Amino acid sequence: MAQRIIIDPVTRIEGHLKIEVEVDGGKVIDAKSSGTLFRGLELILNGRDPRDACHIMQRICGVCPIAHGTASMLCLDDAFGVKPPPNGRIVRNLIQGANYLQSHILHFYHLAALDYVKGPDTAPFIPRYEGDYRLPKAINDLAVQHYIKALDIRKKAQEMLAVFGAKMPHVTVFTAGGVTETVTAEKITQFRQYLREITAFVDDVYIPDVLAVAGVYGDDGFSIGTGCKNMLSYGGIRLTDEDDPDGQKQLFRRGRYINGQFLPVDEKKITEEVKYSWFNDSTTGKYPGEGMTEPAPGKKGAYSWLKAPRYEGTPYEVGPLARQIVNKQKEVIDLGEKGFSVLGRHFARALESGQVAHAMSGWLDQLVPGEPAFAPFNVPKEGSGVGLHEAPRGALGHWITVKDYRIGNYQAVVPTTWNGGPRDDKGQRGPIEEALVGSPVKDADNPIELVRIVRAFDPCIACAVHVLEVKGVSKEVKSFRI
């Protein structure tokens, strides 16, 4: 007889996620991923000065405010018809790079590694699922030391970010047309000092640790968590000042991978479906540029505050694995089918951290002290804009409509909405749901396979549902007022 396992909340991720699976014969036969928090940040923007969007949208999340600030800046650049000067583009990139590094290091060491590394029997290492820790003692002990070291390195990545961003989280220098920061030789030197130490940590500690875990857990780690195998990257981190409508002149290129084919992306083919989400059914299937946020708490049959984003009606995984595959990165492509897995995702994230860190050093060389980092602009009376970006967790899009110099509509479709969203109108599961199906559960009291699968996606529910926490969803949701 099928057995139901509910993990609520899933710990060591950002935000409130509930996972519910049905297990039969020791295998998951169905899964539901529910975002149990409503936020409605998009509604807060309506009627406001469009120039404020890149500051308000950073408040979606404390982990990736940079990603939202960046998508928003790109969206405003597009709506206002302004292009940042080289210094502005590069400073934005350096801030993004610093954010990738702190985010990926945080994810591996402080969120995911404890699924593989057995910490001492004290907080924050307990409570934990017991029974499947396979690392030899010497490697395990070293990994615990690296957990501590990673706290310091992550702090330094945030400090590095603040050299040009002024503070973290929620940097103050972001604006349409570039950044409000001035580039000086002193700041370049300061940034470079941090970057050297962090790059060495990524090369000498983070990547080797991921390989060590892969070596020991590879038997099943490269086979569980397959998912939908459709991969999407909007492309991110602009490498030139030339026009790039197809998003190809970026550190991470725009594209899709589906059924063995590499295909282009047309953002007009993105929709969000809400049949299984707590939003009004009349708003389903809309292109985000015309999207709506109309909460319908308690809607029958719905089970998540996340919408279900789709490309041509099809679910896509986003994130480091998608970026590496779309960019045809040899080490990941060479994994073949094994790449679509829990360890494939950790490997792609670590590899990407090295790519970003080494690229950043070259960007620092391109900065010209004293040159402008900002281009002036006027806010149009009417207009619209799109900002497509790659956040650490994957494809992130912002869409704005300007009406009478104010924000008429603002929509964000976020990486974890792609990955962690519920079924769509056709009943197709979201990528995390799909990745759970087929997974073995050896011990229903310690379903470690399930959290390994979920955490490999590095979900962030605060981002995904985009200020209010609702506990015990089905009852208390009804008392909720917008």
Residues forming the site for Mg ion (CB under 5 A): 412
Selected binder of ligand NFE within 391, 448, 453, 477 (CB under 6 A): 391
Kindly state whether residue 463 participates in binding ligand NFE, applying the rule CB under 6 A.
yes
**Among ligand NFE, Mg ion, none, residue 63 binds (CB under 5-8 Å by kind):** ligand NFE
Q: Taking CB under 6 A as the rule, which mask of x and - marks residues 51-70 in contact with ligand NFE?
A: ----------x-xx--xx--
Place of tokens 């610093």: 98
Q: Are 391 and 268 in contact (CB under 8 A)?
A: no
Residue 250: what are its φ and ψ, rounded to 5°?
A: -130, 160
Which 3-state string (H, E, C) describes 252-305?
A: ECCEEEECCEEECCCHHHEEEECCCECECHHHCCECHHHCCCCECCCCCCCCEC
Give min distance, CB of 14 to ligand NFE, in A. Answer: 5
* Closest CA relative to residue 352, chosen from 335, 327, 334: 327
CA pair distance 18, 12, nearest whole angstrom? 13
Selected binder of ligand NFE within 88, 227, 392, 431 (CB under 6 A): 392
Give min distance, CB of 86 to Mg ion, in A. Answer: 32
**Among Mg ion, ligand NFE, none, residue 463 binds (CB under 5-8 Å by kind):** ligand NFE
Give min distance, CB of 148 to Mg ion, in A. Answer: 37
Q: Is 186 exposed, middle or buried (0-12, 13-18, 19+ CB in 10 A)?
A: exposed
**CA torsion through residues 58, 60, 66, 69, sign:** negative
Beta carbon nearer to Mg ion, 412 or 435: 412
Give min distance, CB of 318 to Mg ion, in A. Answer: 14
**DSSP code of 203?**
I
**DSSP code of 374?**
B
Selected binder of ligand NFE within 39, 170, 345, 393 (CB under 6 A): 393
Give min distance, CB of 464 to Mg ion, in A. Answer: 9
Give min distance, CB of 18 to ligand NFE, in A. Answer: 17
Kindly state whether residue 415 participates in binding ligand NFE, applying the rule CB under 6 A.
yes
Instruction: Tell me the CA distances in angstroms from 400 to 25, 404, 430, one per residue in order.
Output: 49, 13, 26
**Among Mg ion, ligand NFE, none, residue 415 binds (CB under 5-8 Å by kind):** ligand NFE
Shortest-Cβ-distance residue relative to Mg ion: 412
Instruction: Count the Cβ atoms, other than its own, within 10 Å of residue 443.
Output: 13
Span interacting with ligand NFE, options 121-129, 151-159, 269-277, 412-420, rule CB under 6 A: 412-420
Q: Cα angle at 111 between 454 and 131, to 5 degrees?
A: 70
Kindly state whether residue 73 participates in binding ligand NFE, applying the rule CB under 6 A.
no
Binding residues (CB under 6 A) for ligand NFE: these are 14, 61, 63-64, 67-68, 391-393, 396, 414-416, 460, 462-464
